[in-house]
Amino acid sequence: MIPAAFDYTAPESVADAIAALGSEAEEIKVLAGGHSLLPVLKLRLAAPTLLVDLGRITELSGITDDGAAIVIGAMTTHHEVATSDMVREHAGVLAKAAQTVADPQVRHRGTLGGALVHADPAGDLPAPALALDAEMVVVGPDGERTIKAADFFEDFFTTSIDEREILTKIRIPKHTGWGSHYEKFTRVAQQWSIVGVAVTTQVDGGSISQAKIALTNMGSTPVRASAVEQALLGQSASDEAVRTAAASAADGTNPPTDTNGDADYRRHLAKVLTGRAVLAAAGS
C-alpha cells in the first residue's frame, strides 16, 4: 500500500527538530531508521500530517567515552553498536543483542534510539538497556532531561517521552570486565524474540558477585529478573547453582499469548534461557 499524503521536513539540528515538533501540524511522527515506522505508514495504521526526519542531524550519531559511562547517539545504527570496540568492552550485552537484530540490511539502517523509543516488547534492545541501567537523555522545548531505563518504558509501544521531545543520546554506566550474554529464542531466523534474556555478571573467585538480568517479551515492557539476580549473589557459577536460581526467572512477569506461544510456554522459556545466558555470561 501507499502511505497517506504528509508533509516532510529534515532538520539539520536538534533545535530545528524541536521547533518542527512544536508546529501546528495535526499529527507528527519522528523518523529515525524507519524500519518500524514505514511499514505502519504503508499499512495506513498511522497517518501523520508531518514527518520529521532526524537523518541529517549529525550530532545524534556516534559513540563516545564519558569517563564512568559511554554515550551513544540516538541515531547510531545497530551495526555501529554491535561492532564498536568501546561498546563491546564496556557494555558487552548491548553489542551482543544488537548483533541479533533482524538482518544486516536492517542493522545498517535501524537505530538504537529508534528501537528504544518504539518500545516494542519483542524488540531486542530495550532489555539490555534496562539490564545496564542505561539513562535516556531527551530534549524538548523546556530543555534537557534524563530518564532512567527503569522509568522510560511504560507500556506496549509507550515511553515517557513527551510528544514534543526527542531522544538524543543514551548514557550507559561502564560495565568493564563484566561477562555478558544475550540469549534469544525465535521460531525462524531474523525474527523478533519469542523470549530473550540479557545478562551481565561479575564473577570473583568463581562466585557471582553481581548479576543484572532483563527479559524480552515477558510483559508489556522489558522486565528485570530481580529474584534471579538476588538468588545468584555469592553463588558459584556452576550449572546446578545457576539453574536453581533461574527457576524464578518468570516470577512477577505477565507474558503474552500469541501465535508463537502461550504465556506458560514463555514462562518455561524464560527459565531455560536465563540459565543458559547466566552460564554463558559467567564463563565469558
Whole-angstrom distance between the N-terminal and C-terminal Cα of the chain?
A: 47
pLDDT digits (tens, 9 = 90+) for 212-248: 999 999 999 999 999 999 999 999 999 999 999 999 9
CB 145, CB 18: distance < 8 Å: no
Q: What is the pLDDT of residue 190?
A: 80
Q: Which of 170, 173, 163 is nearest to 200 (CA)?
A: 173
Q: What is the pLDDT of residue 113?
A: 98
Q: What span, in angstroms and rounded, lies between the C-alpha atoms of 190 and 217?
A: 16
Which amino acid does the sequence have at 100?
T
Q: What is the pLDDT of residue 182?
A: 98
* Sheet containing 195-204: order of strands: 179-185, 195-204, 207-216, 223-224
Low-confidence ranges of the chain (pLDDT < 50): none
Angle at 73 between CA 29 and CA 165, to 5 degrees: 35
Joined grid coordinates for residue 56: 541529517
Domains of the chain, earliest start first: 7-53 (3.30.43.10), 59-173 (3.30.465.10), 179-282 (3.30.390.50)
pLDDT digits (tens, 9 = 90+) for 160-190: 999 999 999 999 999 999 999 999 999 988 8
Q: Which residues contact 116 (CB under 8 A, 6 or more apart)?
A: 74, 125, 126, 129, 136, 152, 159, 167, 170
Q: What is the pLDDT of residue 148?
A: 98
Q: What is the pLDDT of residue 123?
A: 97
Q: What span, in angstroms and rounded, lies between the C-alpha atoms of 279 and 282?
A: 5
Does residue 183 sit in helix, strand or coil? Answer: strand
CB 74, CB 39: distance < 8 Å: no
Residue with cell 508533509: 7
Q: What span, in angstroms and rounded, lies between the C-alpha atoms of 125 and 222?
A: 9
